[in-house]
Amino acid sequence: MSASALESGIKFTDTRSVLNVHGVALLTLSFQTLGIIYSDIGTSPLYVLNGIWPADGPVPSKEDVLGGISAIIWALTILPLIKYVLICLHFGTTEGEGGTYALFQGLFPPAHKDFEADRTLTGDSFRKFSLDTPSAKLPQKLWWPLLVLSLFGTSLTLADGVFTPAVSVTSAVSGIAVAKESVAGDVTPISIGFLVFVFLLQSFGTSFLAYIFAPVTFIWLALLASTGIVNIVSYPGIFRAFDPSRAVMLFVRTRDYDLLAGILLCVTGCEALFANLGQFNMASIQISFTCFVYPSLILAYLGQGARLITDGENVLSNIFYQTIPGKHQGPLFWVLYVFAILATLIASQALITASFSLIQQLINMRNLPAFRMVYTSEKIQGQVYIPAVNWTLMVIIIIVVAAFKSSTALTNAYGFAVATVMLTTTLLIALQFKYVKGLPALLGIAFFLVFGFFDGLFWGAAVKKVPKGAWVPLMIGIILLSAMLFWTWAKRLEDDFDGSTRRNLRHIIVSRDEDPELQIGLDPEKHEEPNVDATSVETTVEDDGASGIQKPIQYYVLDGCDSLVDIRARPGTPHLKPLARIPTCAVFHKLTTGRGVPHAFISFIRQWPALPEVVIFLSVRVLHTARIPPADRYVVSKTRSIQGFYGVTYYLGFRDDFDVQMNEIIDRICAIEERVDPQGCAPLLKQIRCKADKNCSVPHYIVKSKKISGGKIAAVRNWFRSLLIEEIYYRLMVMFPETVNWFGSAQE
């Protein structure tokens, strides 16, 4: 690390710290959560009661209403409050991320990235690179099954991100039909117009939208609580709904299991509480939900239940709008209508933002192509905007709204994804009790039995809706899961290839004096030279005795051998091919972390037996810091064994723009050479600067499918594998290069 980096206190690490704020800053963050997380669950009163008792159905009895409101109250208490807010938020990653995939990362932590190894070209480079990590909490044989489970949960959360905006906005806009039935047919185009507006706002960033949306959501929830209190006065006996036996007796009396599918709608959006953890932090979510959101929703549902008991058929057609206190279509009606529209637009934000957060996790863990991510906050790396995801979601949601045409049809498709994600989360957290938190296994079993029971009840009711429309989010989830599994499989093949073909630079390029055997007979297991810093570099040079200019040593590439070890096994054959030194500077990019030189370099020198006089292996690492001072961005190491080889790491903050300055790198290389040989370095420095003016960047390797020999089955397998890897994966890899997030990452 450079001296300037040490002096400035910059710590280069591959882990992100959890956002930790207190006092006024915590209260401000808690207020911001209102504008991002809760509008989904906060707009559920618009449609939950009509989801239980449809407008074209019979009027429920007083006991049925008490039972239904009791089921809603205890569903909100058991799942969002106790399970998610009080328990699940403690199971985020060490970097503060939430969601089902974050739970998988806890069970199988990603391998630590050693940035120093990027510049190590002559160390032990034979250890196979893999995404598997020795710190896994569970046996590696469970890696794929649990990955599939977690990715399926994540896929359904993303599918939920399609239906949440569709259901919320159409339910709110449908309220206009209460006032003017003539415009009921225009609900779909109006809803689409509002949704397009929401997606156009996404590029402004989470923090900006939170400041704009939070006051609206605050007023909306305050209005719900206020109208709930007024409505409760019409029937105070509604407080008997706090007795959980009322909910149990509802199902015993009616034997209508399908009622649970409607009750499930009151907890839609609770997964967003966990999935959006990376956008905020645990304390802010706990404070806002427990102190404000939860009591406001309880009061709203109690008030609606009270009016349904007293007014019955008069309010059943649209329970939310018909139970607004005051004169029909009076001022309060239109105030609530306007805020319902605004709140449902904001409700769309909860799952849109959660989708960005989840996609960010998947990209970072190499489960999806590297879509361009725009970081919109100087403090919170989890606050991102992903243009490709934003516009794709918008198109799919518009198609869904246009296809289903009504909020009633949409609610039939809504809920299945939520129930499945909740069940998946319960299973993964039960495993984390023992294997991550180190708590007794009985606690994990108890957690799974208790919350798995409630999740299972809702899931069973939601499954019955699959033929009625819930097959759509299921189909979307399966398509997303297939894409993620395909990319994970192909990317692991590439990473394993990259790790297995990394080579110790001294094992493929050698120099020889009069006795070549003296140079190539070394035991590579005992004579590896690590990279050295600028104070201890030694170089071997020849002097022509006249001009005083250093003459480079003649180097050779091992021809036909993978390493020095292979030479002894094949005596009597020429294994050394001379390498001409080209008067230029070549830059090889190292995309994955690890020691040794990449396969691209090995292929280059074996195909064109020539060695540039200055060779730079460049690694670009984006750190979990918003900005890196220019003086600390470059760390350079010189390879002692071979003249003119350097390892360079270019460090970026997640809000910095990619801008590699070759002059800066060359200046640092020259500074190293000056410290190595202060007296005789002048001719060498002149050569380095001259060659740097003729630099070229060498591309990465081309991905090819490995063929196997055999009969017809092998031929079919080779064709199918070639189709997946060469025609699909490679083309996508070119379209979405990992370097995309080195450019234009900042949002000003």
| 288, 338: one domain | yes
Alpha-carbon Rg for the chain, nearest whole angstrom, is 31
Alpha-carbon distance 355 to 361, whole Å?
A: 10
pLDDT above 80 (res 171): no
- Tell me if 116 is assigned to some domain: no
Band (pLDDT 50/70/90 cuts) for residue 522 is: very low
Q: Which of 435, 461, 495 is the last residue of a domain?
A: 495
CA 562, CA 579: separation in Å to the nearest integer? 17
- Domain tally for the chain? 3
- Scan for tokens 């690890």, then name that residue: 594
Asked if the model's pLDDT at residue 77 lies above 90, the reply is: yes
Q: In this predicted structure, which of 313-317, 428-432, 582-586 has the lowest mean pLDDT?
A: 582-586
Which structure tokens are listed for 523? 């035991």
**Average pLDDT in the 701-708 region?**
78
Question: Percentage of the chain with pLDDT > 70?
Answer: 78
What integer is the mean pLDDT of 566-581? 58
pLDDT of residue 163: 80
Averaged pLDDT, 303-316: 93
Comparing 131-135, 260-264, 636-640, 695-699, the range with the smallest average pLDDT is 131-135
Task: Look at residue 527 and tell me whether its pLDDT is greater than 60.
Answer: no
Please state the φ and ψ torsions of residue 619, each to the nearest 5 degrees.
Answer: -115, 135
Q: How far is CA 423 from the centre of its chain?
A: 21
Instruction: Return the minimum-mean-pLDDT range out of 24-28, 614-618, 704-708.
Output: 704-708
- 587-633 pLDDT, tens per residue? 888 777 778 888 888 888 877 778 888 888 888 888 877 788 888 88
Within a domain: residue 402? yes
Least reliable range by pLDDT among 36-50, 222-236, 564-578:
564-578
In a domain, 461, yes or no: yes
Interatomic CA distance for residues 132 and 146, integer angstroms? 13
Q: What is the pLDDT of residues 209-232, one digit of tens each?
A: 777 888 988 999 999 999 999 999
Which one is predicted more confidently, 44 or 123? 44
Min mean pLDDT across 77-81, 530-534, 593-597, 680-684 is at 530-534
The pTM for the full model equals: 0.77
User: Tokens standing for 490?
Assistant: 């192909």
The tens digit of pLDDT for each residue in 668-685 reads 888 888 887 776 666 767
Q: According to the model, what pLDDT value does residue 298 have? A: 97
Check whether residue 512 and residue 430 sit in a common domain: no
Residue 740 confidence (pLDDT) = 67
Mark which of 475, 495, 515 sits at the end of a domain.
495
Q: Percent of the chain, pLDDT > 90?
A: 22
Would the pLDDT of 90 be above 70? yes
Select the highest-mean-pLDDT range: 50-54, 127-131, 637-641: 50-54
pLDDT on residue 597: 83
Give me the helix-helix angle, 331-364 and 187-201, nearest 10°. 50
Domain boundary among 426, 460, 495: 495
The pLDDT tens digits for 389-414 are 889 989 998 888 888 766 666 766 77
| 445 has pLDDT over 90 | yes
The answer for 560, left when phi > 0, alpha when psi is -120 to 50, beta otherwise, is left
Secondary structure, 3-state, 295-319:
HHHHHHHHHHHHHHHHHHHHCHHHH
Per-residue confidence (pLDDT) for residue 181, from 0 to 100: 63
120 part of a folded domain: no
- Among 580, 578, 584, 637, CA closest to 614: 584
Q: What is the pLDDT of residue 542?
A: 37
Same domain, 232 and 249: yes
pLDDT band at 464; cut points 50, 70, 90: confident
pLDDT at 2: 41
Structural domain including 449 reads 3-15+24-111+129-495
pLDDT of amino acid 550: 47
Contact in structure between 578 and 556 (CB atoms under 8 Å): yes
The answer to whether the CB of 131 falls within 8 A of the CB of 143 is no
pLDDT the model gives residue 529:
39
Residues 482, 577 share a domain: no
Residue 71 has pLDDT above 50, yes or no: yes
Residue 472 maps to a domain: yes
pLDDT band at 551; cut points 50, 70, 90: low
Of residues 502 and 444, more confidently modeled: 444
Q: Are residues 414 and 523 in the same domain?
A: no
Residues 549 and 574 placed together within one structural domain of the fold = yes
Q: Is residue 124 part of a domain?
A: no
Quote the CA–CA distance of 412 and 419 in Å, as a whole number: 13
In the predicted structure, residue 187 carries a pLDDT above the cut 90: no
Average pLDDT over residues 464-491: 89
pLDDT exceeds cutoff 60 at 572: no
**pLDDT, position 408:** 64
Residues 207 and 317 in one domain: yes
**306 pLDDT above the threshold of 90:** yes
- 221-235, 314-328, 660-674, 677-691 — most confident range: 221-235
Give one DSSP letter per residue of 185-235, joined into a string: GGHHHHHHHHHHHHHHHGGG-HHHHHHHHHHHHHHHHHHHHHHHHHHHTT-
Tell me, what's the pLDDT at 521? 39
Over range 334-348, report the average pLDDT: 81
3-class SS string, 582-604: EEEEEEEECCCCCCCECHHHHHH
pLDDT at 548 over 70: no
Q: Are residues 251 and 389 in the same domain?
A: yes
- Asked if residue 117 is part of any domain, the answer here is no
Residue 463 shares a structural domain with residue 514:
no
Span 118-127, mean pLDDT? 61
In a domain, 291, yes or no: yes
pLDDT digits (tens, 9 = 90+) for 723-747: 998 889 888 888 887 766 665 444 4
- pLDDT-derived band at 691, boundaries 50, 70, 90: low
Residue 354's CATH number? 1.20.1740.10
Average predicted confidence (pLDDT) for the chain: 78
The more confidently predicted of residues 640 and 306 is 306
Residues 507 and 491 in one domain: no
Q: Which residue has the higher pLDDT, 116 or 518?
A: 116
Amino acid at 293: V
Do 471 and 589 lie in one domain? The reply is: no
Quick check: 157 and 685 in contact, CB under 8 A? no
More confident residue, 489 or 327: 489
Confidence of residue 190 (pLDDT cuts 50, 70, 90): confident
Res 132: pLDDT: 40
Q: Is the pLDDT of residue 564 over 60?
A: no
Q: How far apart are the C-alpha atoms of 150 and 137, rounded to whole Å?
A: 16
- One domain for residues 678 and 584: yes
Tell me what pLDDT residue 693 has. 60
- Indicate the pLDDT class of residue 183, thresholds 50, 70 and 90: low
Those residues with Cβ within 8 angstroms of residue 656's Cβ, 6 or more apart along the chain or in another chain: 626, 627, 628, 745, 746
